[in-house]
């Protein structure tokens, strides 16, 4: 026996051949005369050949949901600023026509404090330069024009924002316009009726003459432009503070904030309110309290409004 005969024959490596799928052949029945048209290959069945259904449009989606370019947004903003400016100029002209009456109305709290603090002489506003009185009237009429034009300004502002809002949010546009105007004017009225008497009484109370023959007499010499600047700062500051419920309600409507966030932030808001009051009011504690305390109260009211208007989480 040879060595080759004792060894096992080599094993062949079996490779599995991939079976090629043959096309499906459908044989048609032969006609009676024996002729045949030959086999026909069935067409391959396409997968996912069913037409896709387009999603139904969201009825709550914004109207005319068409993307705008940056320049189109600027053009829209420009047109709304022009409309607001035109109405403001008209309101400014009306206020200029009645500027004397407006000055007398704005000066009533000052003159009342003048009398209550027993300041000598008549209630007087002075001007120290030839053009000072004219510029003071311009500032006063600009303030009055802004108040008269507030409904149009707020409407143009909300009109610029409205195209990006959903249908359920658009129904709040007009209430927001009227409430924004009312709160802005209400803030100025609160300053006129509450903050002005306290502030003027506190400042004018520092005038007078001390006891003794050699004491110095302190007399107020209030210039017209300084008084108009003071009044404008106070009225505008209180008007902005009273807009807090509107701003927070709008942010809740679009889903930016909720009542839990505002409650957690309340301790920081109190600090911010007093800092803002120190910036927007004269440097005396009476006017700062007159602004900071209503701001904190309005924040508490805003939490309730946000709870009612915020987007509800899906259950």
Token pair for residue 115? 């009398």
- Are residue 265 and residue 229 in the same domain, yes or no? no
CA dihedral 157, 160, 164, 167 (to 10 degrees): 70
Query: In this structure, what DSSP letter does residue 40 have?
Result: E
- Are residue 83 and residue 231 in the same domain, yes or no? yes
What are the pLDDT digits (tens) for 285-304? 878 888 889 899 999 998 98
Q: Is residue 187 part of a domain?
A: yes
113-116 long-range contacts (CB < 8 A, ≥24 apart) are: 113/197, 113/200, 113/201, 113/203, 113/204, 114/200, 114/204, 116/201
Judged by DSSP in three states, 25 sits in strand
Residue 154 belongs to what domain range? 66-206+220-235
As a whole number of angstroms, the distance between CA 88 and CA 86 comes to 5
- Are residue 273 and residue 310 in the same domain, yes or no? yes
Please, how many CA atoms are within 13 Å of residue 45, restricted to the half-sphere of its CB?
A: 4
How many domains does the chain fold into? 2
Q: Is residue 196 part of a domain?
A: yes
Q: Is residue 58 part of a domain?
A: no
The larger pLDDT score, comparing residue 9 to residue 154, is at 154
What are the pLDDT digits (tens) for 136-156? 999 999 989 988 998 888 888
- Are residue 143 and residue 164 in the same domain, yes or no? yes
Q: Is residue 201 part of a domain?
A: yes
Contact 185, 239 (CB under 8 A): yes
pTM: 0.69
- Are residue 92 and residue 186 in the same domain, yes or no? yes
What are the pLDDT digits (tens) for 206-251? 887 766 666 787 888 888 999 999 898 888 889 888 988 888 888 8
- Are residue 165 and residue 267 in the same domain, yes or no? no
The arithmetic mean of pLDDT across residues 298-312, rounded, is 82
Q: What percent of the chain has pLDDT over 90?
A: 18
- Are residue 73 and residue 202 in the same domain, yes or no? yes
Model confidence at 1, in pLDDT bands (50, 70, 90)? very low
The arithmetic mean of pLDDT across residues 154-171, rounded, is 73
- Are residue 224 and residue 256 in the same domain, yes or no? no
Judged by DSSP in three states, 217 sits in strand
- Are residue 86 and residue 191 in the same domain, yes or no? yes
As a whole number of angstroms, the distance between CA 161 and CA 84 comes to 15
Please report the pLDDT score of residue 20 as a whole number: 54
Q: Is residue 30 part of a domain?
A: no
The arithmetic mean of pLDDT across residues 163-187, rounded, is 77
- Are residue 227 and residue 272 in the same domain, yes or no? no
Q: Is residue 73 part of a domain?
A: yes
Q: Is residue 312 part of a domain?
A: yes
What pairs with residue 218 in β-bridges? 208
Q: Mean of the per-residue pLDDT values for the chain?
A: 78
Q: Is residue 52 part of a domain?
A: no
Residue 81 has pLDDT above 80, yes or no: yes
Model confidence at 90, in pLDDT bands (50, 70, 90)? very high
- Are residue 251 and residue 303 in the same domain, yes or no? yes
CA dihedral 235, 108, 102, 207 (to 10 degrees): -70
- Are residue 248 and residue 113 in the same domain, yes or no? no
């Amino acid at each position: 026996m040879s060595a080759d005969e004792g060894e096992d024959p080599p094993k062949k490596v079996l490779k599995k051949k991939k079976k090629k799928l043959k096309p499906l052949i459908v044989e048609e029945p032969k006609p009676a005369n024996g002729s045949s048209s030959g086999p026909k290959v069935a067409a391959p069945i396409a997968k996912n050949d069913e037409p896709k259904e387009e999603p139904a449009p969201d009825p709550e989606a914004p109207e005319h949901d068409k993307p705008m370019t940056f320049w189109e947004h600027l053009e829209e903003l420009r047109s709304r600023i022009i409309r607001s400016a035109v109405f403001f100029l008209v309101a400014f002209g009306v206020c200029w026509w009645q500027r004397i009456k407006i000055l007398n109305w704005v000066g009533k709290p000052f003159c009342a404090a003048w009398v209550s603090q027993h300041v000598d002489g008549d209630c007087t506003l002075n001007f120290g330069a030839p053009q000072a009185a004219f510029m003071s009237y311009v500032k006063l009429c600009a303030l009055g024009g802004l108040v008269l034009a507030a409904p149009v300004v707020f409407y143009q502002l909300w009109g610029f924002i409205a195209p990006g809002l959903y249908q359920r949010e658009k129904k709040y546009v007009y209430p927001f316009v009227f409430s924004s105007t009312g709160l802005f004017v209400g803030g100025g009225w609160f300053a006129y009726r509450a903050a002005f008497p306290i502030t003027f009484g506190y400042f004018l109370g520092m005038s007078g003459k001390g006891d003794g023959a050699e004491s110095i007499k302190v007399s107020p010499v209030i210039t017209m432009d300084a008084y108009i600047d003071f009044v404008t700062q106070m009225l505008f500051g209180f008007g902005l503070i009273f807009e807090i419920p509107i701003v927070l309600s709008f942010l809740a409507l679009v889903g930016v904030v909720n009542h839990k966030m505002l409650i957690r932030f309340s301790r920081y808001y109190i600090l911010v309110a007093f800092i803002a009051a120190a910036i927007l009011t004269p440097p005396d504690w009476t006017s700062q309290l007159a602004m900071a305390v209503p701001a904190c109260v309005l924040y508490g009211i805003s939490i309730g409004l946000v709870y009612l208007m915020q987007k509800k989480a899906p259950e």
